[in-house]
Amino acid sequence: MHSVAVIGGGPAGLMAAEALAGRGLAVDVYDTMPSVGRKLLLAGKGGLNLTHGEDAATFATRYGARQPALAGALQRLDTQALRAWAAGLGIATFVGSSGRVFPTDLKAAPLLRAWLHRLRGQGVRFHMRHRWLGWADDGALHFATPTGELRRRADATVLALGGASWPRLGSDGAWWPLLAARGVALAPLAPSNCGFDIAWSAHLQARHAGAPLKSVAIEFAGVRRLGECVLTAGGIEGSLVYAFSAALRDAIARDGSARLHLDLLPARSVAEVAREIGHPRGPRSLATHLKSRLHLAGAKAALIWELVPRADQTDPQRLAAAIKALPLRLLAPRPIAEAISSAGGVCFEALDERLMLRDLPGVFCAGEMLDWEAPTGGYLLTACFATGHLAGEGVADWLSGPPTAGRR
């Protein structure tokens, strides 16, 4: 029986292990952490957004320039197939009002427990606290363990080591130099779905850090989205910001900073806002007037005083225009260790259609360590599951094919 090593016990690695075990192969999963699925469990704290219920064509566009490269994987394990897979584990799912798909209990732990139980029943073996160090001189896989260094041989290997976000959960990008040394084409790792730095005043930092901005809109590079975000002591973050993170990050890298526009009242037109501001306010302060007429208070009002020049505050037309398009200058993305996910990694050009490295026969890659990114909303997990499944099936097909010079 052929043996396969899966290095990385996240969603991609576990899905690869399941595909391999289902094809009758001996599977060993290695992970540097004391237990597998730690980032999956973290995602479960927010309800475990498994996938998204939108139509396949729209779904595919969420992967931007990497849509063609991921098409094969996403067609083999699409949203419906993923929900059916969860149901097979005894986990029912539902589509929320936003279109996002969640387990009915909004928890990750029951799904992970059921999954690991099934994998062990299929004969998958797990090896914890095994940090992959690359390959030994004889080609064996090289690990550091609590009892010393270890070498293991396998007929094929799936690398599913994650990106570089949340390093405390195991995704630290330590694999990058190991593959670079082998000549694998790699794109630099960068933060994705991340917050950004803004030079707030000390007053705003002290009074409004952590304040939510609800029912707002962001416009950048001709794209406008509605949603919510959060002010931080150093800038801004949240789901609405994450939706723009790739474009904002790239603009900062190119130009040194990026300017987006924040609409504090997306449900109202500029004319309506100007009319309300222009309503006689008598002895009331402008702050009280805006709160009374437009319900602008708290963090939203603080942004007005922070960003709108005093001369514009006294002109209803100019103030209305500013409220509808507050300019925010973003200076830098937050560090990759704080990001929800990361961009960069193994270039698809270095892989064949089965996700095997062209220059390292028998070595397959899956999950977030591949060079793709997507917004939150179920797209990240779906692509991890799908590429893991494709890599596992790819290994099985490669091992069952005619012998090649690259296979032991």
Q: How far apart are CA 306 and CA 303, in angstroms?
A: 5
**Token code pair at residue 240:** 């609405």
Are 152 and 78 members of one domain?
A: yes
The CA distance from 200 to 198, in Å, is 6
My answer on whether 219 and 308 are in the same domain is: yes
- Picking from 295, 316, 333, the residue at the C-terminal end of a domain is 333
| Region 26-44 average pLDDT | 94
Quick one: 88 and 208 in the same domain? Answer: no
Report the alpha-carbon distance of residue 359 to residue 180 in Å, rounded: 12
Which pLDDT score is estimated for 195? 97
Question: Residue 166's pLDDT band (boundaries 50, 70, 90)?
Answer: confident
284-292: long-range pairs with CB below 8 Å, 24+: 286/313, 286/314
Identify which has the larger pLDDT, 361 or 168: 361
Same domain membership, residue 213 and residue 165: no
- Do 297 and 377 lie in one domain? The reply is no
For residue 281, pLDDT over 90 is answered with no
Is 408's pLDDT higher than 70?
no
Tell me the whole-structure pTM to 2 decimals: 0.91
Instruction: Judge whether residue 62 has pLDDT over 50.
Output: yes
Indicate the residue among 333, 349, 374 that finishes a domain: 333
| Token pair in block for residue 88 | 């097979």
Confidence band for 404, pLDDT divided at 50, 70 and 90: low
Instruction: Report d(CA 46, CA 63) in Å as an integer.
Output: 22
Domain end marker among 308, 333, 358: 333
Using DSSP, state whether 50 is helix, strand or coil: coil
Pair (16, 144) in one structural domain: yes
Give the closest residue to 226 by CA, choosing from 217, 235, 237, 236. Answer: 217
**Nearest by Cα to 406 from 359, 343, 355:** 359
Domain, as residue range, for 243 = 196-333
Is residue 407 very low, low, confident or very high in pLDDT (cuts 50, 70, 90)? low
**What is the C-alpha separation between 172 and 196, in angstroms, rounded?**
21
User: Can you tell me the distance from the alpha carbon of 313 to that of 311, in angstroms, rounded to the nearest whole number?
Assistant: 6
Per-residue confidence band for 45, with pLDDT thresholds at 50, 70 and 90: confident
Instruction: Specify the number of domains making up the chain.
Output: 2
pLDDT band of residue 405 (cuts 50, 70, 90) is very low
| Domain co-membership, 32 together with 70 | yes
For residue 408, being part of any structural domain is answered with no
Are 290 and 269 within 8 A, CB to CB?
A: no
Amino acid letter for position 80: Q
260 domain residue, yes or no: yes
